[in-house]
Amino acid sequence: MTEAKTYIAPSLLQPDDHAVLLIDYQYLQLVTACSHNPQGVIAAATLLARGAKLFNVPTFLTTGLAERQGPVHEVAAVFPDHTPLDRTTLNSFEDPRVVEWVKKTGKKKLEMGGLWTESCLLMASLSALHAGYEVYIVVDASSRGSLDSHNAAVQRMVQAGCIPIAAGTYLKELQRDWSRKETAGKVREIYTKEGTAYGQAVRWELDLLKLG
Protein backbone atom coordinates (compact mmCIF):
# COMPACT_ATOMS: atom_id res chain seq x y z
CA MET A 1 0.00 0.00 0.00
CA THR A 2 1.39 3.38 -1.02
CA GLU A 3 1.85 5.77 1.86
CA ALA A 4 -0.34 8.86 1.54
CA LYS A 5 1.42 12.15 0.95
CA THR A 6 0.85 15.32 2.87
CA TYR A 7 0.81 18.76 1.33
CA ILE A 8 1.56 22.24 2.66
CA ALA A 9 0.60 25.18 0.46
CA PRO A 10 3.57 27.50 -0.05
CA SER A 11 1.26 30.43 0.57
CA LEU A 12 0.74 29.29 4.17
CA LEU A 13 2.95 31.33 6.47
CA GLN A 14 5.66 29.59 8.48
CA PRO A 15 7.21 31.14 11.61
CA ASP A 16 10.61 31.39 9.91
CA ASP A 17 9.64 32.72 6.46
CA HIS A 18 8.34 36.23 7.14
CA ALA A 19 8.64 39.42 9.15
CA VAL A 20 5.97 41.61 10.73
CA LEU A 21 5.50 45.37 10.51
CA LEU A 22 3.20 47.04 13.05
CA ILE A 23 2.65 50.52 11.68
CA ASP A 24 1.54 53.50 13.77
CA TYR A 25 -0.62 51.94 16.45
CA GLN A 26 -1.27 55.23 18.23
CA TYR A 27 -4.29 56.58 20.07
CA LEU A 28 -5.01 59.59 17.85
CA GLN A 29 -5.34 57.34 14.83
CA LEU A 30 -7.43 54.90 16.82
CA VAL A 31 -10.00 57.38 18.16
CA THR A 32 -10.65 58.78 14.68
CA ALA A 33 -10.97 55.34 13.10
CA CYS A 34 -14.68 54.56 12.87
CA SER A 35 -14.90 51.78 10.30
CA HIS A 36 -14.53 49.14 13.03
CA ASN A 37 -15.01 48.89 16.77
CA PRO A 38 -11.79 50.28 18.31
CA GLN A 39 -11.64 47.53 20.92
CA GLY A 40 -11.87 44.92 18.18
CA VAL A 41 -9.03 46.57 16.27
CA ILE A 42 -6.89 46.66 19.43
CA ALA A 43 -7.67 43.00 20.14
CA ALA A 44 -6.72 41.96 16.60
CA ALA A 45 -3.52 44.02 16.63
CA THR A 46 -2.54 42.67 20.04
CA LEU A 47 -3.26 39.10 18.95
CA LEU A 48 -1.08 39.67 15.89
CA ALA A 49 1.74 41.12 18.01
CA ARG A 50 1.59 38.37 20.63
CA GLY A 51 1.50 35.67 17.97
CA ALA A 52 4.56 37.10 16.24
CA LYS A 53 6.42 37.25 19.53
CA LEU A 54 5.45 33.71 20.55
CA PHE A 55 6.77 32.27 17.29
CA ASN A 56 9.89 34.47 17.28
CA VAL A 57 8.92 36.27 14.08
CA PRO A 58 11.07 39.39 13.47
CA THR A 59 8.82 42.33 14.31
CA PHE A 60 9.25 46.07 13.83
CA LEU A 61 7.09 48.85 15.29
CA THR A 62 6.78 52.36 13.92
CA THR A 63 5.07 55.57 14.99
CA GLY A 64 4.28 58.81 13.23
CA LEU A 65 4.99 62.13 14.96
CA ALA A 66 5.12 60.42 18.35
CA GLU A 67 5.48 63.69 20.28
CA ARG A 68 1.82 64.42 19.48
CA GLN A 69 0.33 61.11 20.55
CA GLY A 70 1.13 58.04 22.57
CA PRO A 71 1.22 54.42 21.43
CA VAL A 72 -1.60 51.94 21.91
CA HIS A 73 -0.38 50.38 25.15
CA GLU A 74 -1.76 46.90 24.53
CA VAL A 75 0.36 46.57 21.39
CA ALA A 76 3.46 48.35 22.69
CA ALA A 77 3.45 46.25 25.88
CA VAL A 78 4.06 43.07 23.88
CA PHE A 79 7.52 44.39 23.00
CA PRO A 80 8.62 46.35 26.10
CA ASP A 81 12.26 46.49 24.96
CA HIS A 82 11.42 47.79 21.51
CA THR A 83 11.39 51.56 20.91
CA PRO A 84 9.18 52.20 17.86
CA LEU A 85 10.89 54.02 15.03
CA ASP A 86 9.32 57.45 14.66
CA ARG A 87 8.79 58.90 11.18
CA THR A 88 7.46 61.96 9.44
CA THR A 89 6.53 60.06 6.27
CA LEU A 90 3.02 58.67 5.81
CA ASN A 91 4.60 55.81 3.89
CA SER A 92 6.98 53.87 6.14
CA PHE A 93 8.71 52.47 3.04
CA GLU A 94 9.86 56.01 2.23
CA ASP A 95 11.95 55.89 5.40
CA PRO A 96 15.30 54.20 4.63
CA ARG A 97 15.57 52.91 8.21
CA VAL A 98 12.43 50.82 7.79
CA VAL A 99 13.53 49.52 4.40
CA GLU A 100 16.95 48.63 5.78
CA TRP A 101 15.45 46.71 8.71
CA VAL A 102 13.23 44.70 6.38
CA LYS A 103 16.17 43.97 4.10
CA LYS A 104 18.33 42.77 7.01
CA THR A 105 15.71 40.20 8.08
CA GLY A 106 16.30 38.36 4.82
CA LYS A 107 12.57 37.57 4.61
CA LYS A 108 10.63 37.97 1.37
CA LYS A 109 7.22 37.78 3.00
CA LEU A 110 5.87 40.67 5.07
CA GLU A 111 2.87 40.64 7.39
CA MET A 112 1.54 44.18 7.91
CA GLY A 113 -0.97 45.77 10.22
CA GLY A 114 -1.47 49.47 10.66
CA LEU A 115 -3.61 52.49 11.34
CA TRP A 116 -4.96 54.01 9.16
CA THR A 117 -5.93 51.55 6.43
CA GLU A 118 -5.84 53.90 3.46
CA SER A 119 -2.63 55.70 4.35
CA CYS A 120 -0.10 53.96 6.63
CA LEU A 121 -1.07 50.43 5.59
CA LEU A 122 -1.92 51.10 1.94
CA MET A 123 1.19 53.09 1.05
CA ALA A 124 3.60 50.74 2.80
CA SER A 125 2.04 47.61 1.34
CA LEU A 126 2.02 48.91 -2.23
CA SER A 127 5.60 50.08 -1.87
CA ALA A 128 6.69 46.72 -0.41
CA LEU A 129 5.04 44.94 -3.33
CA HIS A 130 6.94 47.19 -5.73
CA ALA A 131 10.18 46.33 -3.89
CA GLY A 132 9.57 42.63 -4.56
CA TYR A 133 8.06 41.45 -1.26
CA GLU A 134 5.05 39.18 -0.81
CA VAL A 135 2.69 41.20 1.37
CA TYR A 136 0.00 39.96 3.75
CA ILE A 137 -2.36 42.63 5.14
CA VAL A 138 -4.16 42.05 8.44
CA VAL A 139 -7.50 43.60 7.60
CA ASP A 140 -9.14 43.38 11.03
CA ALA A 141 -6.14 45.01 12.73
CA SER A 142 -6.63 48.15 10.63
CA SER A 143 -9.35 50.78 10.52
CA ARG A 144 -10.34 54.16 9.14
CA GLY A 145 -12.90 56.96 9.38
CA SER A 146 -15.52 55.10 7.39
CA LEU A 147 -16.18 51.57 6.23
CA ASP A 148 -16.13 52.79 2.63
CA SER A 149 -12.60 54.20 2.93
CA HIS A 150 -11.38 51.04 4.68
CA ASN A 151 -12.94 48.74 2.08
CA ALA A 152 -11.70 50.82 -0.85
CA ALA A 153 -8.15 50.65 0.51
CA VAL A 154 -8.35 46.89 1.08
CA GLN A 155 -9.71 46.35 -2.43
CA ARG A 156 -6.92 48.45 -3.91
CA MET A 157 -4.25 46.49 -2.01
CA VAL A 158 -5.75 43.13 -2.98
CA GLN A 159 -6.04 44.16 -6.64
CA ALA A 160 -2.37 45.13 -6.54
CA GLY A 161 -1.41 41.70 -5.20
CA CYS A 162 -1.57 41.87 -1.41
CA ILE A 163 -2.97 38.86 0.43
CA PRO A 164 -5.69 39.66 3.01
CA ILE A 165 -5.61 37.77 6.30
CA ALA A 166 -7.26 38.07 9.72
CA ALA A 167 -5.25 38.17 12.94
CA GLY A 168 -6.88 35.02 14.27
CA THR A 169 -6.12 33.16 11.06
CA TYR A 170 -2.48 34.25 11.29
CA LEU A 171 -2.01 32.66 14.70
CA LYS A 172 -3.68 29.39 13.72
CA GLU A 173 -1.63 29.32 10.52
CA LEU A 174 1.62 29.44 12.49
CA GLN A 175 0.47 26.78 14.97
CA ARG A 176 -1.39 24.45 12.56
CA ASP A 177 -0.89 21.31 14.68
CA TRP A 178 -2.05 21.14 18.31
CA SER A 179 0.51 18.40 18.95
CA ARG A 180 3.20 21.11 18.89
CA LYS A 181 3.09 21.36 22.67
CA GLU A 182 5.78 24.02 22.99
CA THR A 183 3.38 26.68 21.65
CA ALA A 184 -0.12 25.12 21.76
CA GLY A 185 -0.92 26.20 25.30
CA LYS A 186 0.30 29.75 24.70
CA VAL A 187 -1.75 30.01 21.50
CA ARG A 188 -4.91 29.04 23.39
CA GLU A 189 -4.02 31.54 26.11
CA ILE A 190 -3.64 34.35 23.56
CA TYR A 191 -6.98 33.54 21.95
CA THR A 192 -8.86 33.44 25.23
CA LYS A 193 -7.32 36.66 26.54
CA GLU A 194 -7.83 38.75 23.39
CA GLY A 195 -11.53 37.91 23.30
CA THR A 196 -11.99 36.80 19.69
CA ALA A 197 -14.94 34.61 18.74
CA TYR A 198 -12.55 31.69 18.40
CA GLY A 199 -11.19 32.53 21.83
CA GLN A 200 -14.71 32.22 23.23
CA ALA A 201 -14.96 28.75 21.69
CA VAL A 202 -11.63 27.82 23.28
CA ARG A 203 -12.89 29.01 26.68
CA TRP A 204 -16.03 26.88 26.34
CA GLU A 205 -13.92 23.89 25.33
CA LEU A 206 -11.69 24.32 28.37
CA ASP A 207 -14.68 24.75 30.67
CA LEU A 208 -16.24 21.54 29.32
CA LEU A 209 -13.01 19.66 29.89
CA LYS A 210 -12.98 20.86 33.51
CA LEU A 211 -16.59 19.74 34.00
CA GLY A 212 -15.79 16.36 32.45
The Cα–Cα gap between 206 and 212 comes to 10
Catalytic residue among 45, 75, 78, 120: 120
The Cα–Cα gap between 112 and 48 comes to 10
**Full DSSP string of 37-81:** -HHHHHHHHHHHHHHHHHTT--EEEEEESGGGS-B-HHHHTTSTT
In this structure, are residues 31 and 143 in contact, taking their beta carbons and an 8 Å threshold? no
Catalytic residue flag (residue 34): no
SS3 168: helix
DSSP conformational letter for 93: G
The Cα–Cα gap between 167 and 46 comes to 9
Which residues are the active-site residues?
A: 120
